[in-house]
Amino acid sequence: MAKFQRKTRQERVEEIKKGALEVFLKKGYKNTTMEDVIDNTSLSKGGVYNYFGSTKEILVAIMKDGNNISKQRVIKKGINSVKSKDELCKVLAEAAVEKITAELPEKNLYLMFAYEMIYEPQFEQIHMELEKDFYREIGRTIEKEHPFFKVKEYKDEKAFISRVISGLVFANTLFKDKTIFQNHKEYLYKMLEDLFKELIVEE
Tens digit of each residue's pLDDT (9 = 90 or more) over 11-48: 999 999 999 999 999 999 999 999 999 999 999 999 99
CATH 1.10.10.60 boundaries in the chain: 1-53
> Could you read off the pLDDT of 80-120 as tens digits, one per residue?
788 889 999 999 999 999 989 988 888 899 999 999 999 88
CATH 1.10.357 boundaries in the chain: 60-202
As a CATH number, domain 60-202 is: 1.10.357
Q: Can you say how many angstroms the Cα of residue 11 is from the centroid of all Cα atoms in its chain?
A: 21
| CA distances (Å), origin 97, targets 89, 90, 176 | 12, 10, 18
Q: Does domain 1-53 have CATH number 3.40.50.720?
A: no
- For residue 120, the 8-state DSSP code is -
